[in-house]
Chain A
Amino acid sequence: MQATETDPRPGNGTGEPGPIPVVLTINGTERRLEVEPWTTLLDLLRERLDLTGSKKGCDHGQCGACTVLVDDRRVNACLTLAVMLDGASVTTVEGLAQDGQLHPVQDAFVEHDAFQCGYCTPGQICSAVGLLKEGRARSDDEIRELMSGNLCRCGAYVNIVAAVRQVMDGTGAGR
């Protein structure tokens, strides 16, 4: 898979349309896959790998329902080509729980009732995990602004901010 200056064509070596081998670590498991170059990460996850937690809301980067973590950074899976991620590590909402324990952000969403229909929730949760890793938000205004890439049609925003704040402050139940 190493591209060189003389042969910049990875995969099938021809530069013709067709499947290209990629190696992706998905939720901790290394997967060797052949993907067509036009396959988005979102379609790969949902249609081929049966990881339907990540949702397709708009397919155009406008809603955040498809948010996943690539090498620990939150991105929109609908605007990402799977072939471009060769060698990367992808975490979806299905991969956040460890040893049967929900991720603290998942716990906080349950505790604060930070959803109604739940459609936006996997994206909200992955986005919040990304936000916490970035460590840029301090005030509620900053949480709101840095969660603004995730729309919620049910309007659960108030409780989403409360859930994120709880994890940020490291405070547990009953706060």
Chain B
Amino acid sequence: MNRFSYVRPDAVAAAVRERASDPGARFIAGGTNLLDLMKYDVEAPSRLIDITRLPLRDIQELDGGLRIGALVPNSDLAYDRRIEERYPLLASAILAGASPQLRNMATTGGNLLQRTRCVYFYDTATPCNKRTPGSGCSAIGGINRQHAILGASEHCIATNPSDMGVALAALRASVRVAGPDGERTIPFSEFHRLPGDEPQRDNNLAADELILSVDLPAEHFAINYTYLKLRERLSYAFALVSVAAALRLEDGKIAEARLALGGVAHKPWRDEAAEELLRGQPAERASFEQAAGQILSGARGFGENDFKIELARRAVVRALEQAAAGTPQSQSDKRVQ
């Protein structure tokens, strides 16, 4: 790890000021991603701004929804009564990720900003456009089993590794941030970016902006939902493909559908056309296959990850079946029913 200075502001304004005054500075919350990257010299901040003492640790009621402070640990969020009862999809997705120790440390804001697990991004001896813009992409034609099948570019085919983010995309959350010029709110679908020709930018947060909270709307899909995560081993591994599915059913028909995929793109992947296709349809396999076809219509593989297209298609159908039946995937009994 490089040498750096350390400051610990206790007010949001002071934290934002520290960040704005030093482009080499980084906020640190749980530290589980930033310190990992610093140990590989992928990140080498001049200064760490410890934000863990900022007053952003509460979960508050918000017009029928909930406002989750950026510093709420992932485990506290997953086990919060209100989240368990009203947003079980979110609880389930969080519990599908990382390990209990890491979830105790990881924060709501940090989870959204975790960087890709592309092996070349971590390996400073190899070209990588995300780490060193213009150096090339080693994953195209290289090791790319974990990589994107949707929304990739010729400059980067990395995936966003977050599980929590997939549920937040399906739930249509928003992200409230503070910068030197005040606060703004970013819809979740516009928070993360596709790589395009600027793969070094994962999201649309400005460098000197701080995440204050993630806000959940009132509609919570507490009955017909599932988070289905498929990976190389049963636990403590990133998703090859994951699906967050949520339905509101009326008389056996789908009144409202939400569908988001993880492990397949540079951002949690939502397709409004697929959700639209499901609306008004009977909650049965034929409808689900149509939606799967739609959400994967632009999919393309890069060799090692070709299998993910078919895997994702089947996972979408299975997840929608689980959601329709009201039998969400268990995150401890890993049999996929």
Contact = CB atoms under 8 A, between A and B. Distances in A.
Contacts of A148: 99-100, 234-236
Given A17-B3, A149-B101, A149-B236, A80 B31 contact: yes
B14 A11 contact: no
Contacts of A81: 6, 28, 31, 35, 48
A94 interface: no
Contacts of B197: none
Interface stretch (A105-113, A114-122, A126-134, A165-173): A126-134
Given A4-B10, A8-B8, A79 B104 contact: no
A83 B31 CA distance: 12
Interface string A1-15: 001111011110011
B105 A76 contact: yes
Contacts of B11: 5, 8
A37 B31 contact: no
Contact of A76 (B2, B48, B53, B101): B101
Given A8-B10, A141-B333, A145-B332, A38 B3 contact: yes
Contacts of B163: none
A104 interface: no
Contacts of A3: 7-10, 53
A73 B104 contact: yes
Residue in A14, A38, A59, A127 whose Cβ sees the most chain B Cβ within 10 Å: A38
Given A9-B7, A38-B1, A60 B79 contact: no
A141 to B, nearest CB: 4
Interface residues of A, number: 48
A11 B102 contact: no
Interface in B296-337: 330-333
A73 B99 CA distance: 13
A60 B39 contact: yes
Nearest to B235: A148
A67 interface: yes
Contacts of B9: 3, 5, 8
B47 A15 contact: yes
B32 A76 contact: yes
Contact of A75 (B6, B52, B101): B101
A141 B235 CA distance: 11
Contacts of B35: 40, 79-81
A74 B104 contact: yes
Interface in B19-63: 28, 31-32, 35-36, 39, 47-48, 50, 52-53
Contacts of B47: 15
A67 B101 contact: yes
B100 A8 contact: no
Interface string A77-100: 001110110100000000000000
A87 to B, nearest CB: 10
A8 B102 contact: no
6 contacts: A8-B14, A15-B5, A74-B100, A75-B101, A79-B36, A134-B100
Interface of A: 3-6, 8-11, 14-18, 20, 36-38, 40, 59-61, 64, 67, 73-76, 79-81, 83-84, 86, 127, 130-131, 134, 136, 139, 141-142, 144-146, 148-151
